[in-house]
Amino acid sequence: MQDSGSTAGLRGIYSVDGTVAWASGTGGTVLRTTDAGAHWQKCTIPDAATDGATLDFRGVQAWDARTAIVMASGPGDKSRLYKTEDGCLAWRLVFANPDKDGFWDSINVADQDNLMILGDPVEGEFSIFSTTDGGKAWDKTHDEGLRSKANEGAFAASNSALLVNWVDGPAAFGAGSPTGARLFIECDSCKGKTSWTAVPMISFPKAEASGIFSLNYRDWRLFVAVGGDYTKPNESSGTAAWSADGGQHWTASAKPPHGYRSSVEWSEALHAWITAGTNGSDISRDDGKTWQPIDDGNWNALSLPFVVGPNGRIARLNAAALK
């Protein structure tokens, strides 16, 4: 465990290199460490003079100790992006949600020019915003493949509902609804135009509070998805699945994590997957087929070696203990 110096609910975490890391959460909170978590610095609140202290920063991405971008999740223009280039002394508003009925769930960043945002459905279609010039101009994707079902949405639980292969592949995101979870996958060459398809994820539970909360990959063919029902944190069934063909076909984990999970990540150093949620964390050494408990802490999001949770909780993974 580490001393964050904060009581904010933390859902954003990004480790640049294990030494430099950024965290974010409720109350306009942004934290930064430059010494592997020995000390966490409270950053200046973006737009502190107006409503910045009311914002909930669910996502953060960073490039170094000075440069980072944070995503606020909230109704309408309470969903925003801010960027700092001076170690969080000052922030610049990059983009505010133009949809008054929208709500942002996740941001994925390739570099300082190329960014993509996932938002809940507006007028029956999931919201995908993208920029190729660092946020000067934004495009919103309109595609029949993004049509949503009744009460279907993505989850802003850990900034890992959206996954993008920026090098040579598509984007994908997970969602949930009372009629079941679905994985949406982009196809760059379908019928000569960009389009999206939805794959039913029958192993996950059906409810408004249920579905896929986090998605990650090892080589863009081997995927792991985690989730469940966040109102039932100790329910282990329907909390994880894996795919070996780029997300087209899925198999439920034979031995799932020991509860609802909101974040999952592959560790090349450990050659294992780590997943975390509100009743603890688990490890898989066989690509998501089986999971073993690590701890029983209360967590929201991972960016190895760090994990964050409510009430300012931050911890660093003791990799030696896992070996």
- The CATH number for 92's domain is 2.130.10.10
> Which structural domain, as residue segments, surrounds residue 36?
10-322
Predicted local distance difference test score (pLDDT) of residue 323: 73
| Residue 203 belongs to some domain of the structure | yes
CA-closest candidate to residue 102, choices 130, 131, 123: 123
- Residue 301: both structure tokens together: 């999001």
* CA separation for the pair 155, 68 (Å, rounded): 22
Number of domains in the chain: 1
| Residue 108 belongs to some domain of the structure | yes
Q: Which of 93-97, 166-170, 216-220 has the lowest mean pLDDT?
A: 166-170
| Residue 212 belongs to some domain of the structure | yes
For the segment 286-301, the average pLDDT, to the nearest whole number, is 98
91 band by pLDDT with thresholds 50, 70 and 90: very high
Count CB neighbours of 119 within 10 A: 25
- Residue 291: both structure tokens together: 């999971």
| Residue 193 belongs to some domain of the structure | yes
Helix (H, G, I), strand (E, B) or coil at 144: helix
| Residue 1 belongs to some domain of the structure | no
Predicted local distance difference test score (pLDDT) of residue 232: 97
% residues pLDDT > 90 (the chain)? 92
| Residue 3 belongs to some domain of the structure | no
| Residue 4 belongs to some domain of the structure | no
| Residue 37 belongs to some domain of the structure | yes
Contact 177, 153 (CB under 8 A): yes
Contact 277, 299 (CB under 8 A): yes
* CA separation for the pair 223, 234 (Å, rounded): 24
Contacts (Cβ under 8 Å, ≥6 apart) of 234: 258, 259, 260, 279
Contact 257, 263 (CB under 8 A): no
* pLDDT tens digits, 170-226: 899 999 999 999 999 997 666 556 689 999 999 999 999 999 999 999 988 899 999
Q: What is the mean pLDDT of the chain?
A: 96
* pLDDT tens digits, 250-264: 999 999 999 999 999
